[in-house]
A and B are shown apart, each in its own frame.
Chain A
């Protein structure tokens, strides 16, 4: 239907724009990955050349892996990201359900208060957060990072999810109530599956900043045992000498886990089981 109306010229123009954008967006990633497989000399001599065959060199990866703790850094990043994500989605969805489903005094004010965090960067409170963590003995623990990231991710999650939950049919929830489902069952089995695409959106938007963050790991958990991958990669960047092979290899490796998580969530984005729920 849409095909018939689009002239070939327009189709080509649209594709040209999209392809150009894709190339621009992927170019830095491409350069990083390509150069991570080259020797240092080749990186500087011909940064755009493919690593095959004469420049091919795994020295970057060897350095990174020899560093030893790298798998630990990976693991730390993974734990922090996944656990924070879980809490953000769980608490965000629960708060959103309460805000959208129940009429109570101060409902709107509470919603505004929870959404305020979208506009105020959490880093402004770094000093206070550090003090709290010191008092609570949480410095140099992954718990500290998880707590901070959960707080950081909640406002956007509550905001987006409460909008989506308003669209879930009241009749469906009421049918559940008449059939004797508890509010928790209604939330988990009826409402959550229907807002899955929104959950996936929130997950992607929450995950990337956590994975890439350098600030809080540096301040709250810089110890060897709790370093995240982003912080760990910094050892290769010196004030005077930077081990480019290692930096590029580390960055290339760091892309992989987020890529996997992203693919998982984007499948959820597309899949909709809402069809047939109502009407």
Chain B
């Protein structure tokens, strides 16, 4: 119940091709996260799955049934929007119950379902308020509650947390993970946030320019990216890209994660090390990010554990873990 299958889905707005052939399988109960740069078509793909937008070509299958011509309300899915999109004229209870009411469910059942959702999200005290009388975080919980009440096969989230402050974002993220465990439903989640993607996903889909770049579990994508785009997109701070020739590697570029670079004071000269100058230091408490300007690699980021004192402008030497380096060819594809 709740598996999704996209078969060479494309979408054009007039002459502009926005989705350029997406094939994707999401298994039942899976938490799938779409990431990609702004404008790459994440929301458009989500709207196509929801049926709010027609695909120009290709098939959308839910549980093996072709859904292209099925109305959004009949697809047994629910969507949570970035802007919450609560109905301003209805109370919280009616907001959550509207879909069931439209589907002709009896009033007693609607009350039971909304009460259950309210309990899951601790919305009990707010049930009779209007959306205007709620805080941003409460509105988002109501929007999630509205999705839960329908017991959909598939949940769609379009950047649901991006309007919340940091603390609330963490709390709601954990709540969504808990809901996923409890409901066991399939979820598709669009986000810009690295942490959300890495922590929530069973499977991450990296999109670029209307195409799928790579699909895999968070750790697969982190440790084993297929190309420089995925390597650079997954992980924060970004992966460092070194000029392969200068460090004695084959291929065009060598990717090294910031935590795989080591910093040495100048003077303890050793082989294969990269000389540079500290250009900026960011202390985050638990870790310290040191930005080192080097030639010919440009600015490299080094991630150090704990609080480290590093003077700006000081010359330093860098070494890296050669076994963990990733090698890419001239087209940005992984070698070996």
Q: Is the CB of B79 within 8 A of A175?
A: yes
Partner of A175, one of B71, B77, B85, B139: B85
Known: A174-B79, A175-B79, A180-B102. A278 touches B85 (CB 8 A): yes
Residues of chain A lying within 8 A (CB to CB) of residue B73 = 177-181
Known: A171-B82, A276-B130, A276-B133. A178 touches B88 (CB 8 A): no
Partner of A194, one of B71, B79, B88, B163: B88
Bound-state CA distance A175–B98 (Å) is 11
B78 at the interface (CB under 8 A from A): yes
Bound-state CA distance A65–B28 (Å) is 79
Q: Is the CB of A276 within 8 A of B134?
A: yes
Residues of chain B lying within 8 A (CB to CB) of residue A274 = 88
Chain B residues 49 to 106 lying within 8 A of chain A, measured CB to CB, are 50, 52, 71-74, 77-79, 81-89, 98-99, 102-103
What residue in chain B is nearest A190 (Cβ atoms)? Answer: B87
Q: Is the CB of B88 within 8 A of A273?
A: yes
Known: A177-B72, A178-B99, A179-B102. A276 touches B82 (CB 8 A): no
Known: A177-B72, A179-B98, A181-B102. A278 touches B83 (CB 8 A): yes
A172 at the interface (CB under 8 A from B): yes
CB proximity of B75 to chain A, nearest CB, Å: 8
B131 at the interface (CB under 8 A from A): yes
- Return the CB mask of A163-187 against B: 1 if under 8 Å, else 0: 0000001011011111111000000
Q: Is the CB of B47 within 8 A of A174?
A: yes
CB proximity of A65 to chain B, nearest CB, Å: 45
Residues of chain B lying within 8 A (CB to CB) of residue A194 = 88
Q: Is the CB of B50 within 8 A of A174?
A: yes
Q: How many residues of A contact B (CB 8 A)?
A: 22
Partner of B86, one of A181, A189, A273, A276: A276
A193 at the interface (CB under 8 A from B): yes
Q: Name the residue in A179, A181, A275, A279 with the highest tally of chain B Cβ atoms < 10 Å from its Cβ.
A: A179
B132 at the interface (CB under 8 A from A): yes
CB proximity of B186 to chain A, nearest CB, Å: 16
Bound-state CA distance A28–B50 (Å) is 60
B136 at the interface (CB under 8 A from A): yes
CB proximity of B243 to chain A, nearest CB, Å: 45
Residues of chain B lying within 8 A (CB to CB) of residue A177 = 52, 71-73
What residue in chain B is nearest A174 (Cβ atoms)? Answer: B52
CB proximity of B86 to chain A, nearest CB, Å: 7
Partner of B89, one of A180, A189, A279: A189
Bound-state CA distance A179–B52 (Å) is 12
Residues of chain B lying within 8 A (CB to CB) of residue A23 = none
Partner of A275, one of B47, B82, B132, B163: B132
Residues of chain A lying within 8 A (CB to CB) of residue B79 = 174-175, 178
A119 at the interface (CB under 8 A from B): no
Q: Is the CB of B131 within 8 A of A277?
A: yes
Q: Is the CB of A171 within 8 A of B81?
A: yes
Residues of chain A lying within 8 A (CB to CB) of residue B136 = 279
Residues of chain B lying within 8 A (CB to CB) of residue A275 = 88, 132
Known: A276-B131, A277-B131, A279-B83. A179 touches B99 (CB 8 A): yes
Residues of chain B lying within 8 A (CB to CB) of residue A277 = 86-88, 131-132
Q: Name the residue in A175, A273, A276, A277 with the highest tally of chain B Cβ atoms < 10 Å from its Cβ.
A: A175
Q: Is the CB of B88 within 8 A of A279?
A: no
What residue in chain A is nearest B82 (Cβ atoms)? Answer: A171
Residues of chain A lying within 8 A (CB to CB) of residue B83 = 169, 171-172, 278-279
Bound-state CA distance A48–B84 (Å) is 60
Residues of chain A lying within 8 A (CB to CB) of residue B89 = 189, 193, 273
What residue in chain A is nearest B52 (Cβ atoms)? Answer: A174
Partner of A178, one of B78, B87, B130: B78
Q: Is the CB of B99 within 8 A of A180?
A: yes
Bound-state CA distance A181–B133 (Å) is 24
Bound-state CA distance A190–B88 (Å) is 8
Residues of chain B lying within 8 A (CB to CB) of residue A178 = 50, 52, 72-73, 77-79, 99
What residue in chain A is nearest B156 (Cβ atoms)? Answer: A178
Bound-state CA distance A175–B86 (Å) is 8
CB proximity of B39 to chain A, nearest CB, Å: 16
Residues of chain B lying within 8 A (CB to CB) of residue A276 = 86, 88, 130-134, 139
What residue in chain B is nearest A278 (Cβ atoms)? Answer: B83
Residues of chain B lying within 8 A (CB to CB) of residue A171 = 81-85
Q: Is the CB of B88 within 8 A of A175?
A: no
Contacts A174-B72, A276-B133 supplied; 8 other A-B pairs, CB < 8 Å: A171-B83, A175-B81, A179-B146, A180-B99, A180-B103, A277-B132, A278-B83, A279-B83
Residue contacts A-B, CB under 8 angstroms, 25 given: A169-B83, A171-B83, A174-B47, A174-B52, A175-B81, A176-B87, A177-B73, A178-B50, A178-B52, A178-B77, A178-B79, A179-B73, A179-B146, A180-B99, A180-B103, A181-B102, A189-B87, A189-B89, A193-B88, A194-B88, A276-B139, A277-B86, A277-B88, A278-B85, A279-B136
